[in-house]
Amino acid sequence: MGRVFMMEAKEFLGREQGLRAHLSCNWFPPLPLYLQNVIVEEFERHWKDRCHPQVLLERINRRLKKIEGEIVGLKSLDRFDEFLLNEEEWKEIPIRKPKNEWAFPKAKVKRILKSVRNVFKHSNIDYLTDEAYQFITLKMGFIAHYDLFGFRETYCNNLLMFARHLLTTEGLSRDESYNERWADRQEKDSDFIKRYGEEYCKRSAETIRGIVKIARRMLNSGDA
């Protein structure tokens, strides 16, 4: 019944008004007006630039996500078959680079180092962010202590020990050059580079060296 109505609406009302009629009549409960407007506007773009339906779906959901908490988005365009351009009218599917799961931007390095620096500057482990915590526990030989709050609890009264472990790891070694050597390995080891990419390894090593430098400066100053 819905498909028949789509065909009739499109034939007698035209694409835009037919789509609006389809949106108004074929949903229960009725779709809110703002949602109808988003769908119609993005279909108009689809008709104009002849984008692939998957691109159309992504555009609609990207806009809907900006409306916080009101709607999760559309899972498919199955209920809009009659309003989609025919396959021969689509432009080629855009080639998209796969998301780099090992992306490690410079901004992340700066944020982590700022967090660690603030811990010692203010003598307060609460300045350790979740991002810095994740890096330290994954890359510098620390155990998780359950979560960030457990980690803070462990070191809240002993920043001197925290600083020393940033050099040596939490239990793997007592050598104060251990994490610096680990940074060198991450940056130069061919297996690491092959798996994670040169840029990721470089940023990771840079972050470790920066944290070690902050910790060593703190230990030498005796401010703990």
Distance CA 6, CA 15 (A): 10
Query: Which amino acid is residue 49, in one-letter code?
Result: D
Q: How far is CA 44 from CA 59, 71, 96, 118, in A?
A: 12, 21, 23, 51
pTM of the prediction? 0.57
Residue with tokens 């061919």: 190
C-beta separation of 159 from 118 below 8 A: no
Radius of gyration of the chain (CA): 27
Q: What is the tens place of the pLDDT at every residue in 49-78? A: 988 888 888 888 888 877 655 455 677 888
Cα 106 off chain centre by:
15
Neighbours of 41 (CB within 10 A): 14
Q: Which of 29-43, 160-174, 175-189 has the lowest mean pLDDT?
A: 29-43
What pLDDT score does 117 carry? 97
Distance CA 154, CA 150 (A): 6
What pLDDT score does 14 carry? 74
